[in-house]
Structure 1
Amino acid sequence: MKKFRNLVLTGVILGVPLLTAELTQANTINLNLIINGEVISSVSPVQSNGTTLVPVRVVSEQLGANIEWDSSTQKIVVEKGNVSVEMQIGSATGKINGQATSLTTEPVVINGTTMIPLRFVSEAFDVPVEWDSVTSTVLINSSIEDLAKVSTNVVEYNAESKFDGVYNNNVAFNTVTPSKISVTSGVYGDLNGLTDGNSQSGIGMSNGDSIQYDFATTTAITGIEIWGGASSEDWHFEYTENDRPKKLLLEFSNNTSIIVNLKDITDQGVIFDEVYTDYVKVTLLEYYAGAAKASDTNIREMKILANYVSINNPTIREYTAEHWYSVMTDRAFGIEPSSIVASSQLADEGNHNYSPYKTQDWDDSTAWVEGVSGDGVGEWILFNLQPNTEIRAFIMTNGLTTNENLYLANNRIKKARLDFSDGSSCILNFADNELDPQGINWENPVVTDYVKVTILETYAGTKYNDTCISKVDIMNYNLIY
């Protein structure tokens, strides 16, 4: 949540047709609006050229102010209590109780409706205004928990009972260690206690406060586990006396977010669709009130989860790739993909092409190279096979292996996830400084329609931030190394 005072803002809409030049709707972006905790749908605020415009008549009426309009001078007067604000269409000068002051921008017109600077009005009448970038919402005299009323595009999850990283007694997790934990000013307590495994420590916070876990690299996460409420030797008394978290907003660096509805129990969590993110920001939206009517909500532990696996039927296992000195003679007996697709590829440079099909051309001087900004974490290449193909080995020549200099200059894969059409997956860890193939044999074959390789971690190149795969071999028999 960002305060509006840190942004450049303009405009409030007045429902009066004017004979002035108009700013067309095509030049604007619609936003959500909440005033006094109520979602306003009759007239939407907009954003134009980086400035935000909101409806004056609705805003003024909701705040109990009076509006006067002089059509001959195109002057707008908004009055509340002993404060009078004057503005004029096309003028960047306004007045507060007769005292001239500069506006961030002059009032304009959108589709026959007048717009005046929100900052000017909000500061004149001392009205709190906030902005939420995830839901594109302007909040006037409202609180962050009201965001749930407009977050129709934000997926909501209901937490399930958990214990020691086990979900429904069937799924176990790896946890992601944050490189840094930061909080808003209202949060107090032991931040390290959130991840130290000691459920006696933790933090206190109020509605609207946030905790942010930053990661050293872009990370694939799949869930969150929460221990809410206070705890001591007489834990049940402490738990019921103090406030407990009820609803959380989770925001990620890819500009997506989810809402988590918590039960009134001490240990719980949710699994959600995998998200690649540089951080997780957790904001308290609602709480269960404690008997002591304390003003703070307690969280004792908060873990970010990744790579969950079924305990009864494990589908994700982690392996270290073995070193093969050569598989060239074996390629004639490998499985030829029916087609290959990738999430991205680097643009051609002269005669150099970085298509995913370069992984199958038997030329170690070529490679598939992902094409997004950054290190390519989250990018993938998918090898389509014939239906129900039985595979027993996966071999990959990592990096750009034209020569050692180019190998080191570009990124190489450190960790990748292999997904199969039967719903199973595995994690494969690769050694660095290996221009030769690396891979894995499966004792029991995998029956699948495809093999999808997703980049999870990389070794950094000395010159380029592009991740490369020179060759991939999918085998229907085990290799001897």
Structure 2
Amino acid sequence: MKIKLTIFILALSSTLFSQELKIIHAVQEKDANFFDYEDYEAPDKPIGKLIFLKGCNWYCGGSVKSISASSQLKENNGINYAPKNTHDFDKNTAWVEGKPDYGIGEFIEYRFDFSEMKDYNGGLGINRIILANGYKKSKTTWKNNSRIKRLKVYLNDKPFAMLHLLDSFEIQTIDIGEIKFPVNTETKLKFEIIQVYEGTKYKDTAISLLMFDGIGVH
């Protein structure tokens, strides 16, 4: 009986272990690798604003259909904190969750919809997240607001991975493996806040940019 019980426990443990989420750690990058000025008068004289992902990138062919969130902070002095701000190529805007605490359990969801694209052949996919953690408008704003420490990813409502993010003002990337977007199908990616780095002034948790790199464009 003891032998049978031991075998059962080992089998159960093995099953639970196999169901554990894969953990993916973010990699520190430099802002200079992702931002560039609009133009230059000379090599050392930039003109205009800083542009995120300037030039050809995954977004030359890839796109996100819609972005929604479980909550968002109310607009204040004409500044909104909508989920679409994470995907607007602008480091000065952010999605800020709208709960009174640190936003644990709140989420943002991206939809990639190819169900009505007749000429789509199924070649597009993503393999990397490019993320600006926190409210990147300024160093002071970034420190004042909370940032994400752990982010749980769901692929089509099924747990996919746990992302361990860096408490960094500069860009970080996360290699998530290849996720392809099938023909005539909507694909959903949901990102749920699990743990945060606490802000010095506000409990509000923010993400300024959550964008993608991938395959099928070049």
Which category of TM-score, normalised to the shorter sequence, fits these structures?
Answer: 0.7 to 0.9
Question: 2:53 aligned with 1:329, yes or no?
Answer: yes
- 1:170 corresponding residue in structure 2: 15
Question: 2:201 aligned with 1:463, yes or no?
Answer: yes
Letter in 1 for 2:133: N
Separation of aligned partners in 2, 1:346 and 1:162: 49
Q: Normalized per residue, which structure has more strand?
A: 1
Note the residue ranges of structure 1 that are not aligned, 5 or more in a row: 1-160, 173-308
Displacement of 1:435: 1.6
Separation of aligned partners in 1, 2:140 and 2:25: 25
Separation of aligned partners in 2, 1:168 and 1:375: 33
Separation of aligned partners in 1, 2:8 and 2:98: 39
Q: Which of 391, 396, 413 in structure 1 is aligned with 2:126?
A: 391
Displacement of 1:450: 2.0
Question: 2:174 aligned with 1:440, yes or no?
Answer: yes
Displacement of 1:423: 3.4
Q: Deviations over 1:285-332 (max 9, x none)?
A: xxxxxxxxxxxxxxxxxxxxxxxx43xxx7x21011012223333674
Displacement of 1:425: 0.6
Q: Sort the Cα spacing of 1:447 and 1:346 in 2 relative to 1 into closer, same or farther, 3 A.
A: same
Q: Sort the Cα spacing of 1:462 and 1:422 in 2 relative to 1 into closer, same or farther, 3 A.
A: closer
Separation of aligned partners in 2, 1:162 and 1:474: 43
Question: 2:182 aligned with 1:414, yes or no?
Answer: no
Provide the aligned length of Structure 1 versus Structure 2. Answer: 175
Separation of aligned partners in 2, 1:317 and 1:359: 24
Q: TM-score, normalised by structure 1?
A: 0.34
- 2:98 corresponding residue in structure 1: 371
**Residue pair 2:147, 2:205 contacting (<8 A) in 1 also:** yes
Displacement of 1:477: 3.8
Q: CA RMSD in A?
A: 2.4
Question: 2:205 aligned with 1:472, yes or no?
Answer: no
Letter in 2 for 1:453: F
Separation of aligned partners in 2, 1:447 and 1:477: 8
Separation of aligned partners in 1, 2:208 and 2:163: 16
Note the residue ranges of structure 2 that are not aligned, 5 or more in a row: 1-6, 35-51, 115-121, 182-186
Question: 2:92 aligned with 1:359, yes or no?
Answer: no
- 1:17 corresponding residue in structure 2: none
Q: Deviations over 1:403-451 (max 9, x none)?
A: 111101000000101111283511111111x122212224x41235122
Separation of aligned partners in 2, 1:454 and 1:403: 25
* 2:53 alignment partner, SS class: helix
- 1:14 corresponding residue in structure 2: none
